[in-house]
Chains A and B, each alone.
Chain A
Amino acid sequence: MAEPAPKPALNLRDIFNAAVGEAHAAFPGLKGKFAVLNLPDMTIHGSMTEEGTQLGSKKEIEDFVTLAAANSKKLNSSIAKRQAEARVIVYNPTAHSERLFTTQAQPKEMAVYAEFDHELGHLLIADALKNATLSESLYSEAAADTYAVIRNIQRFGDKAAGASVVSWQRAVSFIERGSQSHFTSFTLDEFAKVQEKIDFKALTPDESLHLARRFALEHTPHESLMRSLMTAFQPYRDALKANPADRVDALKVLAEIALGDDTGYYTFKLGAKMLEPYLKGNVTIGGQRLKLEGPYWDAKRRAFALRSLQVEKEDILAGFPLKNKTPANNNGFTSLKPADAPPTPAPKPEEGVIKKITKWF
């Protein structure tokens, strides 16, 4: 059997030439003010003039780009920078960023464009470069991610990854590594709920920016919620840190946090989001599919299904007395269990597993 032909190397130069050309066409105000520095290939795309950038001299423009490149290298991340009217994107991908918006099955070009569009969103959406406070960073990242998703769908139509991949990745980064400022999942999930209604190809460039901003303004989580969620998921991070080799044990801690009797609305929403692919056996680690089996996990799967149904149905009112539904004092999620559902076996308490999380967020 013939060996498969090696994949052609990704032509970043062509991608960025095209992307910058599109950006100039869509936003003519960028002319003479905008460039992309492609660090892997050491190419620069776009143009900056003293007049356009209002930076005064070629040296100032050079210094601006050089500093941006140095920042990007230091942060080990793509970045967007603005000074006066000069705007630069430094493309500096990592293994994580290359799979942030797309699955392994999707073409790498899609990931490159998504990373570019995320950074372009920072540059073009009002206030989306701000990062002086957690609240500002949360908004800026939500706006940039939503814009990248909109552009991804505009570029690739039905083949686009949409919001689901990046939303899950952001949730994992937050829960496992405490990455607060880039937690955009709630905004992306709200966007995913309505994206089927949008005629993406008919959105003008300005409308695309406005729509991303609107979703970010409306659905960026409040910073006090983020702080509470940080605390709620800390036991999971601790468990992972204590025994990195045993993910199943750590996932039990996560399951107790997300699906405990007194788990709050937001803790459930976020924890369940991360747990779902694990519970469904859709996660592979080191090439091995992680299977969560046995009575404990079966019980958790049932709890997950019941509560997901309730949250889907009742949304923000989940757990409160609703008309024509429950008696008073139904403070929690337990009332949803249908009368004919089989009794849920009580999970066997296990050493080191948190019994109750009482935060109601």
Chain B
Amino acid sequence: MTLKSNAPLPEFNGKQSLREIFNHEVQKATEDFPQLKGRFLFINLPDADTVISVDPAKVSLRHGELQQIANSVAATAEKAGSSLATKIPNTGLSVMAYTPLPFKMFTGRDQSDVMESMAVFDHELGHLVVEGAFFSKDSCYRETAADTFAVLRHIQRYGDESRAIEKAGWRRAFDFIMSGDRGHFTTLAIDELAQLKDKLDIKAMTPDQTIKLAQRLSLEHTPHFDATDTISAAFRPVRQALQQSENIETALKVLADIALASDNAYYTFKIGAHVLAPFLNGEVQNGQGEKMALKGDYWDNVRDQIRDKSASLKKDGLLFGMPLKGDIKGEVKDNIVNFPKPPADPRFEQFKKRLL
């Protein structure tokens, strides 16, 4: 594989149209990821535009078939109200359709729409180029790979200006708790990248390395299905409270109670505290741009507990809440010595005969 460049991706000055930007990005994607060259069709839904990098010899499509594929993918994306990426069986053709989300997933309100569009483009590109990000049976792995790739690319594009790690990590956790979206629960890998990013020279990574790191982090930090299943069930009362009350503060109280319910519930605290943090810090705005304030004794107590436990979580990691050497946690329980020896149960003697 020829790696054309590991230079930072271009920044846009806001004067170019989305059409021009995507023309450039599709070209750049086929240079950075040569497997797409001659096999890539991009559909820009807001502008009803397509960028075609298709070599008929490579994709073995008959005349008219490409148009049919483009129409079909565009219709699917429009119906879903979401960008998508797909690979057309037996052709080697990769297709991406872009349409903006009704909210910002990777960027802050104060950041440009182009920054958000680029992250969405890279998320879909990640599905096409990171191994397993399209074909894996595990939807959470697919999304984790795509998100991790998008976040890495966002930092390559925008450096310190990028807030994709914080924004996407939080948004995915929020959706996981509030709507039970397990397939897009990519927060654990993004959080891990947050821990590593200061060590990594992300801008110096080649496109190939970017794919590989996204893959490695996803393999390592895509949560096991049983974890997401159990944690999702633990947060069900939050969803019920939101549904019944239609009041976010009521739901957040239920969330705080669950997150702080046990001294050693690792995942519910880790994820619950992550989602609560910007609410507790007064950083979340409603649709009218008003900041939401959580006030009163209850919330002050929650803030104190979360601060203390977050410090323990940061220090102890996976051993959070477990008795560690040097800890003083009251009476030490010795649960392993000298239990009485019960006799064998005579009721099972008859089994022995059968088994012999």
Contact = CB atoms under 8 A, between A and B. Distances in A.
B209 A17 contact: no
Interface string A81-97: 00000000000000000
Contact of B200 (A26, A35, A47, A323): A323
A21 B342 contact: yes
A119 to B, nearest CB: 17
Interface residues of B, number: 65
Contacts of B204: 321, 327-329
B272 interface: no
The 5 closest A-B pairs by CB, nearest first: A44-B348, A202-B323, A328-B204, A17-B341, A321-B204
Interface in A170-210: 190, 194, 196-199, 201-205, 207, 210
A135 B224 contact: yes
B324 A197 contact: yes
B308 interface: no
B206 A329 contact: yes
Given A20-B342, A217-B224, A265-B216, 10 more contacts: A47-B347, A197-B325, A202-B333, A207-B264, A214-B318, A217-B227, A224-B141, A319-B209, A320-B212, A361-B216
Most buried by B among A155, A197, A265: A197
26 contacts: A22-B336, A24-B342, A37-B351, A44-B352, A47-B345, A48-B347, A62-B350, A126-B230, A198-B322, A198-B325, A199-B323, A201-B336, A207-B322, A216-B224, A224-B138, A224-B219, A317-B199, A317-B213, A320-B212, A321-B200, A323-B200, A323-B201, A325-B201, A327-B204, A329-B6, A331-B208
Interface residues of A, number: 76
B160 interface: no
Contacts of A217: 223-224, 226-227, 267
A204 B220 contact: no
Contact of B327 (A20, A199, A331): A199
A225 B334 contact: no
Contacts of B226: 126-127, 130, 136, 139, 217
Interface string A38-56: 0100111111100000000
Interface in B237-271: 264, 266-267
Contacts of A215: 318
Nearest to B141: A222
A22 B338 CA distance: 8
B249 to A, nearest CB: 31
A214 B335 CA distance: 20
A316 B217 contact: yes
A210 B206 contact: no
Nearest to A142: B224
A216 B225 CA distance: 12
A25 B339 contact: yes
Question: Among B136, B206, B350, which residue has the most Cβ atoms of chain A within 10 A?
Answer: B206
Given A224-B132, A265-B216, A211 B322 contact: yes
A325 B208 CA distance: 19
A223 B132 CA distance: 11
A18 B344 CA distance: 11
A280 interface: no
B216 to A, nearest CB: 6
Contact of A360 (B3, B200, B212, B318): B212
